[in-house]
Chain A
Amino acid sequence: MKKRWLPLVTAILAIAMLLTPLAKLEVHSQIAPEIASQFPATISLGSVMLRGAGALPVNAVPALAVADFGQWMLAAGVAVLLASAAVSLIRKRGMLLLGLAGSALAAGLLGSFAIQAANVSNSLLFTLLMETQVWIYLPVVLAAAQIIILLVAVIKEKDCVDLSDKTWRLAGGVLAIVAALCLLLPSHVVSVPETITASPADAAVINRSLTLLDEALGREANLQTIGTEKAVFADVLTGDLAALEPFSADATNIKGIFVIKTVTTAPNMLLLAGAVLLVLALILAFIPRVDRWFAVCCQVLALVLVAASVLGVMSIGDGDMFASATRQLNKLGLGTITFAPMLMALITLASAACGVMSILTANEPYFVNPIPEKQRLRVVAIALTAVSIGLMLAPGVTFSFTKPGMNKVQSTVSLSGAQAMIFSTPEDMLSPKSTQGKALYSEKASKNGNLTDAGVADIMSGLTGIYGIASWVSVAVAAAGLVMIILRKNKKATIALLLSAAVLRGLTWLIVTLQMPKVMGSAGGTFFLFGSIPTLIFAAFFAWFADHEELPKKYKLFLMMLPFLVAVFLFSYLPLYGWSYAFFNYQFGKPMSEQEFVGLKWFTELITNAGHRDNIVRVMKNTFGMSGLNLITSWMPMAFAIFLNEIGNARFKKFVQIFTTLPNFISWALVFSFAMAMFAMDTGIYSKFMLGIGAIDQPVAWLNSGEHIWLKMWGWSTWKGLGWGAIMYLAAISGIDQELYEAAQVDGAGRWAKIRYITLPGLLPTFFVLLMLSISNILNNGMDQYLAFQNSMNKNTIEVLDLYVYNITIASGGTTLYSFATAIGILKTVVSVTLLFSANFVSKKLRGESIM
């Protein structure tokens, strides 16, 4: 690439962006005029870079001192960005790659800072004090641009990829160090204080902030919500968690703190393991005569662990813990949690991935895998068995206490396999530590009448016993299998042992779940519990081939396919389990075993219940009406294509084609924006035009009326889909044999004759297939369009089946009709599949071709 100065330009621009007042934090003056006068309105990031949070007027507003601005992050980002640009100027092999890595790091650092700044200024304590400008993201964008430029350069200049083996190993190793370092940097997520007590200094700051809030509340009437939350702070500062109780009904409120308190160890351990593995990978990468695959495996494993940790941290509970924890801590004024650790983890992932790539690229032939080829599959089997035994000893069963009607885990206790094996019941399980858990626990135990605290404790100890014994047995069985693989004993017996250990594991979980007293909550399996089952099955699989040099191809391919099959199962087949809701009186949040079975009640109700029946009839009318209009006019794209093909001017043709397809690529929400602008009652061009020509004498509410809604919807869907639908026909036209036209020309056929006798017959098969498909999709007219256009005036005539189902369930917030909606869904699928097969049958009969 000749333009090596380009990255430098972006880097300098990014830095300039940082130093100009454009990229700034704005401190508002909404608190009190006398305070406002004490600090400047804007602070450039340049000064933040030099002085950190000290650049903010902390003397005037002590709350700002809590803002933990990573000045080192900014400074490092700037330095790395500049260095990477400079490095990529050097015309030497590998320098571009180095520059690329640098700008990636810089983007991470700058982005981390930007998000942190935005985060801090969005927090409750600071919203009144400061705001982040959009421009703060610009340096990140520029760094990203630099990455793209360098990437293009690397791809174009392939010589830099042609490095010696040693260099690649070095790069892999260095990346491993970077990744490991990132992991060891302070990560706030996992170091949240166990109890919420503020230090005296913090408390002073928070008190000061509360005073400021007080003042603000006095002035601003619309800050009511902050008022209620402020009351919570005051209580929490005294250390009384129970004060949060009344707020727990609020879906977004309390979860963060509780979750952090209970599950910090697992992500921590995963991260630590990841770091250790990365260091190991580094060492392995440098030892000659060791196969590079070991280093790669280490890094891959580290990748998986770190990813698991990141995902775990991000999605604990039924949501994104990170966001809620951030919000919580910020609200409490302890807000040091930032996105930094997550970005660190992401950088770790990226550098570990690059490390894998670079070590993989090092392919000098003289490195030998110390494991003889014949033993490799055996080693895999042994490793898998060992891992599964480890998993059995890790925390296995999770007990959750759930509050009725809340669907939110309040307190979770994990019982590790190892713990159960020495028959000790964790203290938390018998009496939960957290105030809230305790309250729930005794409430539930007493409600049940015959179950006292002691009674529940007995049951729990019993469960521990069952779990412990079963754990012993399954570990012993698996260990026996392990010994047999190592000693190369009877293959079939080995496999039988491994598989029976897996079955035992499954049974254990089942028994514990069934025995769990319902009053208390539920026992759930964790990754560790279920993890050991597939590992055992895979161990058995590899044990079967332990004597082979490599897996037979057919199974190798199957193993590659397996992740995809799992995904298909999870997202396409598992939902079918939900069809069972249609036969129950499904109540939200209860396990299936407690639901009331009602048989075909919901299906018969479709007909017998007058209210439901009327609605269904109305909705079906709309569905058929609008699908029908589209069906009747489904010849239009074909006509469009035929006549477009008659256009002689190729440029005009292309112009038409490009711009008539455009509407297909915008969302229905956007289409509705167009409609809102053009058909607005007083201001839209439609009203103005119609008034102008005298077609109407006063503005009409075009969007807010139910009149002719089918036609209007048909109009919009035609506007959006006509040009797009024609493409397929245009493709078909270009497939028609040109000689036919030439022959017709010779015979003196005119334009119409050629269309009538050549083009049209050539297109009919395509038309037929599309018609058949749209007939089978008559019930699936989607909901995006109707949802966007729906309002209270036209709801009766616009509601199609899909929209109706959504409206009565998720949209309404009620869950009483879930079963009914599922029943509708089942019928819909059955009808659709039947229609599809009939269409296919018709197609086969008429044309001898299948459409599926």
Chain B
Amino acid sequence: MKTAKNNKPHDTNRPRHLKLSKGDIAFNIVNYTVFLLLTLACLFPFYYLFINTISSNELVRLGRIQLIPKEIHLENYVQVFKISGIMDALFVSVARTVLGTLWTVAGCAFLGYLVTKQEMWLRKVWYRLIIVTMYFSAGLIPWYMNLRNLGFLDNFWVYVIPGLVSPYNVILVKTFIEGLPPSLEESATLDGAGYTRVFTSVILPLITPILATLCIFSAVGQWNSFTDTMMLMPSGKNYTLQFLLYKYQREAQSLAALVRNTQDTNALANVATKQTSLSVQMTVAMVVTFPILCVYPFFQRFFVKGIMIGAVKG
């Protein structure tokens, strides 16, 4: 964990030149083992799913793939992209993740800046009106009927537009901006810069760390959500990958038939690469996971930073 360098995290281990007591050694062995097991428990499902998608489907069907992949092939991945609707779903998923993230982060950044401006007319009233929405919700049906009445049903933009204001993010940005030295903004204002100019040229470059955090959270949230598709897209438009995954879990049988229809006869004859409902469902799951696995290691530090900022506030 990268905390500030001048404040090294507490380390209770004795200095190295001192001999560890027997109790310490025992403690360390148990402690390391437990954490190793916990980490493996977190990683194993990913691994398990992965080896089951690249091994012979026949062996998978017989339950013979448990720890080691056998008869490796990539046919599952080739076939899964041929299922009608998968490409569309991928497009929708990517589009909502990109657009939704940009929209909500831009909105919350600017709003977070605006609410720090003491001179705004009735600032406190507006700020409280926004923040208080964190604590109540109208409930499922009113929420659903509201979006329906606003014409958002079966509409792609429902994934994007309602996310403009997220009170928690606004608080994070506001707290962050308040921690910046006010002199920067003052000097820019003296140079004749307006509010938008100050925001884009002074504030925005300074708040990128918090924006990066918000981006990650929002992107992960957008990528992962499937219940909104389920409720708000009754006529089967704008399906996302996550929702397709959910749907496939429910309709395992018909799915396998669908896949077999798109396969040519040669592939059908080969039992090892023949698609089963389980293989398709698992492959889609892997396809959904890959993007997260790819970006996760790079952005992990932002998560930590983000939750720490949150913790300071909390």
Chain A interface residues toward B at CB < 8 A: 118, 122, 134, 137, 251-252, 311, 314-315, 318-320, 323, 553-558, 560-561, 564-565, 567-568, 570-579, 581, 640, 643-648, 652-663, 665-667, 669-670, 672-674, 676-678, 680, 682-685, 687-688, 719, 722-723, 727-728, 730-734, 736, 738, 741, 751, 754-755, 759, 766, 769-770, 783-784, 787-788, 802, 805-806, 809-810, 818, 821-822, 824-826, 828-829, 832-833, 836, 851-852
Q: How far is the CB of B307 from chain A (nearest CB, A)?
A: 5
Which B1-23 residues sit within 8 Å CB-CB of chain A? 1, 3, 7-13
Select one of A553, A554, A661, A673 contacting B285, CB under 8 A. A673
Select one of A555, A573, A653 contacting B133, CB under 8 A. A573
Q: Does B150 contact A (CB under 8 A)?
A: yes
Q: Does B195 contact A (CB under 8 A)?
A: yes
Contact present for A565 and B126 (CB under 8 Å): yes
Task: Name, among B8, B42, B60, B195, the residue most crowded by chain A CB atoms within 10 Å (CB to CB).
Answer: B42
| With known contacts A667-B242, A731-B307, A741-B12, A558–B139 Cβ distance under 8 A | no
Measured CB to CB, the nearest residue on chain A to B152 is A315
Contacts of A683 in B (CB 8 A): 60-63, 278
Q: How far is the CB of A389 from chain B (nearest CB, A)?
A: 27
Select one of A557, A660, A766 contacting B38, CB under 8 A. A660
Contact present for A577 and B231 (CB under 8 Å): no
Q: Does B143 contact A (CB under 8 A)?
A: yes
Q: How far is the CA of A362 from the CA of B28 in the complex (A)?
A: 65
Residue interface bits B113-132, CB-to-A below 8 A is 1, else 0: 01101011111001001100
Q: How far is the CB of B224 from chain A (nearest CB, A)?
A: 4
Q: How far is the CA of A644 from the CA of B156 in the complex (A)?
A: 44
Given A652-B35, A731-B307: 7 more A-B contacts, CB < 8 Å = A318-B148, A555-B121, A669-B243, A674-B49, A683-B60, A683-B61, A828-B139
Q: Does B266 contact A (CB under 8 A)?
A: no
Q: How far is the CA of A38 from the CA of B93 in the complex (A)?
A: 39
Contact present for B142 and A766 (CB under 8 Å): no
Contact present for B300 and A658 (CB under 8 Å): yes
Q: How far is the CA of A728 from the CA of B81 in the complex (A)?
A: 40
Q: How far is the CB of B129 from chain A (nearest CB, A)?
A: 7
| With known contacts A137-B87, A315-B151, A766-B311, A568–B165 Cβ distance under 8 A | yes
Contact present for B10 and A738 (CB under 8 Å): yes
Residue interface bits B282-314, CB-to-A below 8 A is 1, else 0: 100100110010001100100110011011001
Contact present for B111 and A677 (CB under 8 Å): no
Contact present for B155 and A319 (CB under 8 Å): yes
Q: Does B140 contact A (CB under 8 A)?
A: yes
Which B77-120 residues sit within 8 Å CB-CB of chain A? 81-82, 84, 87-88, 107, 110-111, 114-115, 117, 119-120
Contact present for A648 and B66 (CB under 8 Å): no
Q: Does B153 contact A (CB under 8 A)?
A: yes
Q: Does B249 contact A (CB under 8 A)?
A: yes
Q: Does B168 contact A (CB under 8 A)?
A: no
Which B229-254 residues sit within 8 Å CB-CB of chain A? 231, 234-238, 242-243, 245-246, 249
Contact present for B278 and A677 (CB under 8 Å): yes
Select one of B24, B49, B195, B234 contacting A557, CB under 8 A. B195
Q: How far is the CA of A805 from the CA of B121 in the complex (A)?
A: 41
Q: How far is the CB of A254 from chain B (nearest CB, A)?
A: 12
Measured CB to CB, the nearest residue on chain A to B295 is A665
Contact present for A733 and B9 (CB under 8 Å): yes
Task: Provide 24 A-B residue pairs closer than 8 Å at the C-beta atoms, listed in order of the A residue.
Answer: A134-B82, A320-B238, A554-B120, A554-B121, A561-B120, A561-B126, A565-B129, A575-B143, A576-B138, A578-B139, A578-B146, A579-B139, A646-B31, A648-B11, A660-B39, A667-B225, A669-B245, A682-B63, A684-B63, A769-B314, A806-B140, A810-B140, A824-B139, A825-B138
Measured CB to CB, the nearest residue on chain B to A580 is B142
Q: How far is the CB of B112 from chain A (nearest CB, A)?
A: 10
| With known contacts A134-B81, A754-B12, A825–B154 Cβ distance under 8 A | no
Q: Does B137 contact A (CB under 8 A)?
A: yes
Interface of A is mostly: helix
Q: How far is the CB of A661 from chain B (nearest CB, A)?
A: 7
| With known contacts A561-B126, A734-B1, A741-B12, A673–B245 Cβ distance under 8 A | yes
Q: How far is the CA of A647 from the CA of B52 in the complex (A)?
A: 34
Contacts of B300 in A (CB 8 A): 658, 661
Q: How far is the CB of B279 from chain A (nearest CB, A)?
A: 10
Contacts of A687 in B (CB 8 A): 63
Contacts of A832 in B (CB 8 A): 135-136
| With known contacts A676-B249, A738-B10, A561–B114 Cβ distance under 8 A | yes
Contact present for B48 and A685 (CB under 8 Å): yes
Q: How far is the CB of B102 from chain A (nearest CB, A)?
A: 13
Measured CB to CB, the nearest residue on chain B to A683 is B63
Task: Name, among B28, B129, B285, B296, the residue most crowded by chain A CB atoms within 10 Å (CB to CB).
Answer: B285
Chain B: residues with Cβ within 8 Å of the partner, total of 113
Contacts of A670 in B (CB 8 A): 224, 242, 245, 285, 288-289
Q: How far is the CB of B213 from chain A (nearest CB, A)?
A: 12
Q: Does B43 contact A (CB under 8 A)?
A: yes
Measured CB to CB, the nearest residue on chain A to B288 is A670
Contact present for B142 and A320 (CB under 8 Å): no
Contact present for B154 and A319 (CB under 8 Å): yes
Contact present for A320 and B1 (CB under 8 Å): no
Contact present for A734 and B296 (CB under 8 Å): no
| With known contacts A320-B154, A560-B114, A663–B195 Cβ distance under 8 A | no
Q: How far is the CA of A646 from the CA of B107 in the complex (A)?
A: 41
| With known contacts A670-B285, A751-B12, A314–B49 Cβ distance under 8 A | no
Contact present for A567 and B164 (CB under 8 Å): yes
Contacts of A318 in B (CB 8 A): 148, 151, 153-154
Q: Does B176 contact A (CB under 8 A)?
A: no
Q: How far is the CB of A513 from chain B (nearest CB, A)?
A: 15
Q: How far is the CB of A209 from chain B (nearest CB, A)?
A: 20
Q: Does B162 contact A (CB under 8 A)?
A: yes
Select one of A575, A730, A829 contacting B1, CB under 8 A. A730
| With known contacts A556-B195, A648-B28, A818-B141, A568–B130 Cβ distance under 8 A | yes
Contacts of B269 in A (CB 8 A): none
Contact present for B246 and A788 (CB under 8 Å): yes
Q: How far is the CA of A846 from the CA of B292 in the complex (A)?
A: 42
Contact present for B220 and A665 (CB under 8 Å): yes
Q: How far is the CA of A660 from the CA of B45 in the complex (A)?
A: 12
Contacts of B38 in A (CB 8 A): 640, 656, 660, 722-723
Contacts of B308 in A (CB 8 A): 727-728, 731
Contacts of A571 in B (CB 8 A): 146, 162, 164-165
Q: How far is the CA of A685 from the CA of B60 in the complex (A)?
A: 11
Select one of A659, A680, A810 contacting B43, CB under 8 A. A659
Q: How far is the CA of A810 from the CA of B32 in the complex (A)?
A: 48
Contacts of A578 in B (CB 8 A): 138-139, 141-143, 145-146
Contact present for A554 and B119 (CB under 8 Å): yes
Measured CB to CB, the nearest residue on chain A to B4 is A734
Contact present for B13 and A648 (CB under 8 Å): yes
Task: Name, among A323, A568, A653, the residue most crowded by chain B CB atoms within 10 Å (CB to CB).
Answer: A568
Measured CB to CB, the nearest residue on chain B to A663 is B42
Q: Does B72 contact A (CB under 8 A)?
A: no
Q: How far is the CA of A810 from the CA of B236 in the complex (A)?
A: 15
Q: How far is the CA of A643 from the CA of B117 in the complex (A)?
A: 44
Contact present for A728 and B140 (CB under 8 Å): no
Contact present for B246 and A654 (CB under 8 Å): no
| With known contacts A577-B142, A652-B32, A719–B42 Cβ distance under 8 A | yes
| With known contacts A575-B146, A829-B138, A657–B32 Cβ distance under 8 A | no
Task: Name, among B88, B303, B311, the residue most crowded by chain A CB atoms within 10 Å (CB to CB).
Answer: B311
Q: How far is the CB of A740 from chain B (nearest CB, A)?
A: 9
Contact present for A821 and B141 (CB under 8 Å): yes
Contacts of B136 in A (CB 8 A): 829, 832-833
Q: How far is the CA of A751 from the CA of B139 in the complex (A)?
A: 49
| With known contacts A558-B121, A665-B296, A670-B288, A568–B140 Cβ distance under 8 A | no
Contacts of B28 in A (CB 8 A): 648
Contacts of A658 in B (CB 8 A): 297, 300
